[in-house]
Amino acid sequence: MLNQEWITKTEQFLRSRFDAASYLNLHPDAKAYRIEHTYRVANIGRQIALQEGFDETELTIACLLHDISYCEDFGEDGWQEHGRRSAVIARPFLKELGMTEDRINDICYGIAIHVDDKADFEGERTAFALSVGDADNIDRFDAYRIHETLCKDSFLEMEFEEKLEYASKRLTRLQELKNMEMGTQAAEDLWKSRLSFYILFYEKLISQLECSRDIIKKDLP
């Protein structure tokens, strides 16, 4: 069961940091995206926790804080470091909540390694810690992200051949990613489900494109 008091305090901490961020306030679209992404990751994390028997409050909090360093102005290596910076910001807050040191370290280690699998302090790659990055990765592949990616890449503005090449490259990459290793069975099941949905979308998109200018020679499905 969720410790609602801790969740509420974490949400307030997250939003207060984002509300004070100069970059995010100058770019409200980026701020809205970061908040929405954070909540999606937290809900995925909670789902993994429930299926794997982890503490759902702890993993939900870890996911809520995984990108909190977006409250800072990133320097040259900002994106690469944002997991480790998020762990630095999260640690004193978790102490204020009253968590034990071992749980704080497991949460912070998961936050720190979620970008590039590296931390700047000692920790163990527990299934719990790996679940922070798994939840983040799983959110990259869902219905909203298809829409967002196509808009960001200006898909509708491409020439026909560009569209076909774009969709084909995306499909190839998705098929390569389908068997990427996750930290838990729950995350693996979610990952494969999301990737299967993505693959089906791009297969259908390619099929529709192929039918958009010629009578195709192969048998129709």
How confident is the model over 43-57, as a mean pLDDT? 98
Give the torsion sign (CA, 74, 77, 81, 82): positive
What's the CA gap between 133 and 35, in Å, rounded?
17
User: What proportions of the chain, in percent to the nearest 5, are helix, strand and coil?
Assistant: 75, 0, 25
Residue 138: the pLDDT is 96
77 or 188: which leads in pLDDT: 188
Does 219 have pLDDT greater than 70? Answer: no
Q: 102 CB contacts (<8 Å, ≥6 apart)?
A: none
What is the predicted pLDDT for the residue at 88?
97
Region 30-43: mean pLDDT is 95
- Owner of token pair 């004070």: 20
**Count of residues making up the chain:** 221
d(CA 150, CA 143): 11
Across the chain, what does the average pLDDT equal? 93
**pLDDT digit string (tens) for 78-137?**
678 899 999 999 999 999 999 999 999 999 999 999 999 999 999 999 999 999 999 999
Distance CA 57, CA 50 (A): 10
Of residues 38 and 73, which shows the higher confidence score?
A: 38
Tell me, what's the pLDDT at 48? 98
What span, in angstroms and rounded, lies between the C-alpha atoms of 209 and 202?
10
- Greatest extent of the chain over all pairs of C-alpha atoms, in Å: 67
